[in-house]
Structure 1
Amino acid sequence: MLFPVFLLLIFLLKPDLSKSEADTRNIIIPALEKATFFLENKYRDINLDGVVGFHILQVYLERALEKWASKHELLSQKARVERLVKKLSSSIEKATHSLGQSDPKYFKEFEPILQPHFWTLSPSWNHTDSSYAYSKFDSINCFTEKMSDKCYLYLLGTWKDHGRSCVVTKNCRKIMTKFGCSGYSLSHQLFYLMIADMKRCSDPLFQRAQYYKNIFCASMMKLNLMIESNGFRIQSRDLFMENIMFCGMSGFSDFYKRRWLETILTWQKPEEGCYGMPSENSEHPSLVKDQKQPLRRVKRKEQMFADGCSSHNTAVAVAALGGFLYYY
């Protein structure tokens, strides 16, 4: 008779995981509603990075609704997300049109990644293996942003009019598989592999894509843990969220740590709904003035607003939060 009693105790003491997941969803959805409100207000001025981030968010929301379709206990959350997707679709369409007018050359080059069905999510979940991470990082500036953009255009087929897609040049092969890179260089290497996935490129390089993803995301996890141990310094937060966005999309679920979600939510500007730099009177203002980050968005592409909102910060934040919602 002791055995059934033992099983009963286990059942009673088992944590209510479904309630925990519901609570997590209930703190993410309001943050995404605020961010969508920001997009509604700023769609004329938001840059390409910002539009891409909201595109990725839209994919996550639509996939989440598919997962929740048969779960009647999620009716209220489903209704909120459905309304969110409707608002998001309208604002993304307007922002995309505005972007094409304000920066037509850059828009034309990256137009493929603004298509509704370009982005897909990893079909399965994985975990990073710390043994794959670099023992040391050789450089935070392995290549320039101009160089990485050129490699993306070769994959997208927009490097020239009527260009062939999935072109892998000798230089791109070299810099996009170079080991030891850090910072934005490292995340841009992963982004290169992701674009190849979306385009279904068949170059032999991409037959080893998972091998490189395992190394890159293990190293990006190491960087994120370092950023956390250093107290989430202001100049590191954008990279921290970008790493979660890219590795989460690549199927590495250990980037969706609950404590990281709670931290990211505290960085959102409550009134504006965006992410960006704190005001002059807030924590460590000198870090904002003095920061020098390789591969940060140059002025042509980054958009900082008068209220401290940043298109790139907001883009990586909403894409990361969308991943958290989908995972939970």
Structure 2
Amino acid sequence: MLIKFIFIFIIYSSIQIVYSSNLFSHEFNIKNGGHALYALQQLLNFFESDANNLNLDGLYGLRIAQGQLNALHQNLILSINKKNSLTDKNNIIHSLSIQIERIANISLNRIAYEEKSYLHQFYLIVYHPFVIDYQSRKINKDLIEHGKRNSDFHEEESDKCFAELLGSSDRLNSTKCFISESCWNMMTSPMSQNYRLTHQLLWFLIAKNIDCIHDDIANKNLNHFEDYFCANIYEDARMNLFHNINQDLFLEQLLLCSIIGYEEFLRFDWFNIILTWQHPDYGCFSDKSETIRFHRKTRRHLLLEQEMNNGCLSHKSGLAAGLLATYSRVFLQ
């Protein structure tokens, strides 16, 4: 049974939103913002050199990066009189956004030719920059769940729910913002972990991005879900990095919560670790920096991996692009 995608639930008690302060000096932020932009520039140069092998998974990460760069660019334009030292960096930021558009056009042309139906499913989130509200806040550790959690992730079922949300499913007269009860139950089920948990959050972020969530009650309940998901994702990310389990998952965990404002995900020590994963010659991200090698699916499928030139990984590199752009935004804005 299909139900309208609106959020009329129990009103949860409000959670205080804490806004960030300048923890580091202006010079420190400028310096490290420059490091993040340089790393992103190297990564985009790789993508442009191999754009025909960039699949939708990597492209989505680039669209997130483009949304972050555009937001930073506009912010700096408004404050340029106060931050004249950032004029040159803002020119670089704008040029990187333009470069992403060039890469996207090449990739989309190839995907449209080879996999038209696949592209149709997800065109709403890859044809333009991915824009999401950024609200500086902190995780609520009281929401972290303990005990056995479910990490089972079924790509086909997840894809059906994303396509249903986007209005591109096989259902007759499919319309965006309608979902089935089974998808709702999947995306709100508690005690999730790893990719199952990050994709639950991603589903809500896409719903927000395509204007399925727009009234006050819906936004209040979305904030609760974001608090819940990101508190548990943060705990997963800490353990993931500690055990060096999966860099791709770690990047996804950091990216999805950082773009909506959770400060803890943009730790400076994590930034430095991520920079060490970038290939020194090609600028991309591969599995050569991982202690444990995972069997990766290489078929084209939303949010799964595809190998590019020199062993570079499309999804992992796309996530890194989005995260480097987000670090740039936080350092420089």
**Does 2:86 align with 1:96?**
no
Aligned to 2:308: 305
Structure 1 residue ranges (4+ consecutive) displaced by more than 3 angstroms after TM superposition: 202-207
Alpha-carbon distance between aligned partners in 2 of 1:112 and 1:202, rounded to the nearest angstrom? 16
What are the within-5 Å matches in structure 2 for residues 51-90 of structure 1?
A: 51-69=59-77, 70=80, 71-90=83-102
The structure 1 residue matched to 2:144, chosen from 120, 133, 136, is 133
Alpha-carbon distance between aligned partners in 2 of 1:202 and 1:257, rounded to the nearest angstrom? 30
Q: Tell which has more relative contact order, 1 or 2 (C-alpha 8 A, sep 6+).
A: 2
Aligned to 1:25: 33
Deviation at 1:167, TM superposition (A): 1.0
Deviation at 1:162, TM superposition (A): 4.7
CA contact (8 A) 2:54 2:308 kept: no
The structure 2 residue matched to 1:212, chosen from 225, 229, 238, is 225
Deviation at 1:56, TM superposition (A): 1.1
CA contact (8 A) 2:68 2:131 kept: no
Deviation at 1:228, TM superposition (A): 2.6
Deviation at 1:299, TM superposition (A): 2.1
Residues 95 and 80 from structure 1, CA distance in 2 versus in 1: closer, same or farther, beyond 3 angstroms?
same
Aligned to 1:266: 276
Larger radius of gyration: 1
CA contact (8 A) 1:112 1:156 kept: yes
**Does 2:322 align with 1:319?**
yes
Alpha-carbon distance between aligned partners in 1 of 2:167 and 2:24, rounded to the nearest angstrom? 49
Aligned to 2:182: 171
What are the within-5 Å matches in structure 2 for residues 223-302 of structure 1?
A: 223-230=236-243, 232-233=244-245, 236-278=246-288, 284=291, 287-288=292-293, 291=294, 299-301=299-301, 302=305
Cα displacement string for residues 133-158 of structure 1 (whole angstroms, at most 9, x for unaligned residues): 111342110x4111111111111100
Deviation at 1:283, TM superposition (A): 6.4
**Does 2:147 align with 1:116?**
no
Deviation at 1:303, TM superposition (A): 1.3
Deviation at 1:181, TM superposition (A): 0.8
Higher helix residue share: 1
Gaps of 5+ in 2: 1-21
Deviation at 1:202, TM superposition (A): 4.8
Alpha-carbon distance between aligned partners in 1 of 2:57 and 2:24, rounded to the nearest angstrom? 38
Taking only aligned residues, the RMSD between alpha carbons, in angstroms, comes to 2.2
- Aligned residue pairs total 300
Deviation at 1:219, TM superposition (A): 0.4
Deviation at 1:95, TM superposition (A): 1.4
Cα displacement string for residues 34-66 of structure 1 (whole angstroms, at most 9, x for unaligned residues): 111111111111100111111111111111111
TM-score by length of 1: 0.85
What is the one-letter code of the residue matched to 2:300?
A: R
CA contact (8 A) 2:50 2:309 kept: no
Q: Which moved more, 1:302-311 or 1:22-31?
A: 302-311
Alpha-carbon distance between aligned partners in 1 of 2:328 and 2:156, rounded to the nearest angstrom? 33
Deviation at 1:183, TM superposition (A): 0.8
Alpha-carbon distance between aligned partners in 2 of 1:198 and 1:321, rounded to the nearest angstrom? 21
CA contact (8 A) 1:137 1:182 kept: no
Q: Which moved more, 1:238-247 or 1:67-76?
A: 67-76
Identical pairs, percent: 24
Deviation at 1:307, TM superposition (A): 1.8
Gaps of 5+ in 1: 1-13
TM-score by length of 2: 0.84
Deviation at 1:87, TM superposition (A): 2.0
What is the one-letter code of the residue matched to 1:175?
A: M
